[in-house]
Amino acid sequence: MSEPVLLALLCADRVIVEEGNHKKSIIGSFDNFFSPKFPVVFPPWFIYAAVANLSEDSDFTLNLVKDDGSDSVVIGFTGRFKVTDPRSKSDIIFQVANAKFPSAGDYMLTLTIGTERVGSRILHVKDVPPLQITGGQNV
């Protein structure tokens, strides 16, 4: 098998796939989440990954883990890239819902194909103070 090449690994508010031509529109890409309290579950969001240079169908794992040495998995996906044309890219799209982030910090999103780690990126989850509204209540 040839060595896979990671073309994209993105977090986004939405990924739209056009009917017919299968073009992907990545809407609202980001690498930060903000919350005034933890643990927190953010509204649904998407992960888009694209890989080139796959010569055959290949198993993959996509994990998001707390990057503090604990290896606490927040989300994990497994599946198989289906390769119909080795000259074309292969891509995957996942909707993430109900992922529980235990605390603020950096989380590492990693894509592995077979046993080879092909790429990763950091998703920053930041603690922000609660908003103050009139009457002294915290939001």
Domain tally, the chain: 1
Position 18 in a domain:
yes
Question: Is residue 133 in a domain?
Answer: no
Residue 136 lies in a domain: no
Alpha-carbon dihedral of residues 11, 16, 18, 23, nearest 10 degrees? -20
Count of Cβ atoms closer than 10 Å to residue 40 Cβ: 17
Task: Please answer whether residues 32 and 42 qualify as being in contact, where contact means their C-beta atoms are separated by less than 8 angstroms.
Answer: no
pTM for the model stands at 0.89
User: Does residue 137 sit within a domain?
Assistant: no
- The CATH number that applies at residue 94 is 2.60.40.1930
Question: What is the greatest pairwise CA distance in the chain?
Answer: 64
104-121 pLDDT per residue, tens: 999 999 999 999 999 999
Q: Is 61 part of any domain?
A: yes
3-state SS class at 34: strand
Q: Is 139 within a domain?
A: no
Domain range for 64 is 5-127
Tens of pLDDT, residue by residue over 80-101, are: 998 888 888 999 999 999 999 9
User: Is a pLDDT exceeding 60 seen at residue 61?
Assistant: yes
pLDDT tens digit sequence for 5-51:
999 999 999 999 999 999 999 999 999 999 999 999 999 999 999 99
78: in domain: yes
Q: Compute the residue count for the chain.
A: 139
Residue 118: inside a domain:
yes
